């Protein structure tokens, strides 16, 4: 049995712990914060490839219990034109479709399931350093404690400490010139079908809303910001100031965006978008990174959580089937790198259409209209959704 120290107790880390536990190993979770993530974070749509990867871990129904079906996506323009409506990634053989969930609800459900399975989790454990021998890894935490194991997994996100321990020259995340915000509107009666993601390339703002089964309207928006905002600039872009800016950006659009924003009690403070075109070094010896630590992708791909899930399941298979830990980590990278870098690239292309000036917007809308005027013979995003990991298939080196 291999003891794995997993740094980061979020979605990626928790699913990795469950996958390793399922593979017969001993995972130990370490989370920097001294509490859980209840009530923290916005929402996400978990694509069918991520749900498919959860099946062998017995987690699909756990995830489904936290959200609602999102089988379709609608694309439109700010002038009110609806261009197309199409399936959001299709469905699994049992009919399961993509799920829209609150990030915090998903985290809590996974955390509770990990606890039920007997997986240890330590909180208030901020990693400050790690070193390894030919057979062990030792982690040092800011509270003065230490932990030893057979390997160390960095599931610690965009600003990963493990990534810089593995490679002090690791690149910084790339700023994608948009911000993120959103919220939940109440008291509206929109004519939209519940669960359909209504995405609009507005005249000045990309805006998406979805009507939940209870009638609330979940939404997000991506205000363009050419230069990366400072922490102080972000701190001021919140509350009523942010609401006013968003209302100004959608003022000329013939969509429900303005009434949705007005009906939202609390608009999420804005945060910047980042991705990693490539991270050259994923593993060194007995240490490895997964999820956003290795390949953060723009939300425009709709694949961040699913990529982390695929990572977790693939790493679990490799550590189950490849006896040598170092070789298992190399095999994991070999199975994942090409796919995740293609997803990051697709997310960047999808997001580029959100950022245009007045002239660029006219050109963009012209090409979007022309693209959707023809029958869709091939979905450029299909490679992301149509991906299956066979848990029972033995990994070969």
Strands 287-289 and 283-284: what pairing? antiparallel
Mean pLDDT along residues 265-284: 94
What CA–CA distance (Å, rounded) separates 231 from 235? 6
What CA–CA distance (Å, rounded) separates 320 from 327? 12
pLDDT of residue 34: 77
- What confidence tier does 377 reach under pLDDT thresholds 50, 70, 90? low
What CA–CA distance (Å, rounded) separates 178 from 243? 16
pLDDT of residue 35 exceeding 70, the answer is no
Say what the pTM is: 0.92
Higher pLDDT: 386 or 246? It is 246
The strand pairing partners of 99, in sequence order, are 46, 69
Q: What are the pLDDT digits (tens) for 129-139?
A: 999 999 999 99
Q: What are phi and psi of 232, to 5 degrees?
A: -70, -35
Do 127 and 153 contact (CB within 8 A), yes or no?
A: no
Q: What are the pLDDT digits (tens) for 310-341?
A: 999 999 999 999 999 999 999 999 999 999 99
pLDDT of residue 107 exceeding 60, the answer is yes
Higher pLDDT: 214 or 354? It is 214
- What confidence tier does 36 reach under pLDDT thresholds 50, 70, 90? low
Looking at the chain, the number of H-run helices and the number of E-run strands are: 13, 19
Q: What are phi and psi of 334, to 5 degrees?
A: -60, -30
Mean pLDDT along residues 181-205: 95
Residue 327 carries which DSSP code? H
Both tokens assigned to 43:
């929402």
């Amino acid at each position: 049995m291999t003891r794995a120290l997993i740094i980061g107790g979020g979605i990626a880390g928790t699913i990795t712990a469950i996958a390793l536990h399922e593979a017969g190993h001993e995972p130990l979770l370490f989370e920097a914060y001294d509490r859980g993530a209840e009530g923290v974070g916005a929402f996400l749509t978990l694509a069918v490839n991520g749900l498919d990867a959860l099946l062998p871990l017995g987690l699909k129904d756990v995830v489904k219990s936290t959200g609602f079906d999102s089988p379709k996506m609608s694309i439109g323009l700010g002038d009110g034109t609806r261009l197309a409506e199409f399936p959001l990634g299709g469905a699994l053989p049992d009919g399961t479709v993509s799920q829209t969930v609150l990030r915090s609800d998903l985290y809590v459900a996974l955390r509770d399931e990990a606890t039920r399975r007997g997986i240890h989790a330590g909180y208030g454990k901020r990693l400050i350093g790690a070193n390894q021998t030919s057979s062990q890894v030792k982690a040092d935490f800011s509270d003065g404690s230490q932990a030893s194991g057979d390997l160390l997994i960095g599931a610690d996100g965009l600003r990963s400490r493990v990534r810089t321990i593995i490679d002090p020259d690791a690149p910084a995340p790339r700023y994608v010139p948009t911000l993120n915000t959103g919220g939940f509107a109440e008291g509206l009666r929109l004519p939209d079908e519940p669960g359909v993601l209504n995405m609009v390339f507005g005249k000045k703002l990309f805006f998406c809303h979805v009507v939940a089964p209870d009638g609330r309207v979940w939404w997000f928006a991506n205000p363009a910001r050419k230069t990366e905002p400072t922490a102080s600039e972000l701190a001021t872009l919140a509350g009523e100031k942010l609401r006013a800016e968003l209302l100004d950006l959608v003022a000329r659009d013939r969509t429900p965006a303005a009434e949705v924003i007005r009906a939202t009690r609390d608009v999420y403070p804005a945060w910047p978008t980042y991705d990693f075109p490539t991270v050259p070094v994923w593993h060194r010896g007995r240490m490895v990174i997964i999820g956003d630590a290795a390949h953060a992708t723009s939300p425009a791909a709709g694949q961040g959580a699913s990529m982390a899930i695929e990572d977790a399941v693939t790493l679990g298979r490799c550590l189950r089937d490849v006896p040598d830990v170092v070789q298992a980590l190399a095999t994991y990278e070999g199975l994942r790198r090409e796919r995740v870098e293609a997803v990051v690239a697709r997310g960047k292309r999808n997001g580029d259409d959100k950022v245009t000036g007045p002239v660029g917007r006219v050109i963009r809308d012209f090409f979007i209209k022309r693209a959707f005027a023809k029958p869709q013979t091939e979905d450029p995003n299909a490679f992301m959704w149509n991906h299956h990991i066979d848990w029972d298939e033995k990994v070969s080196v």
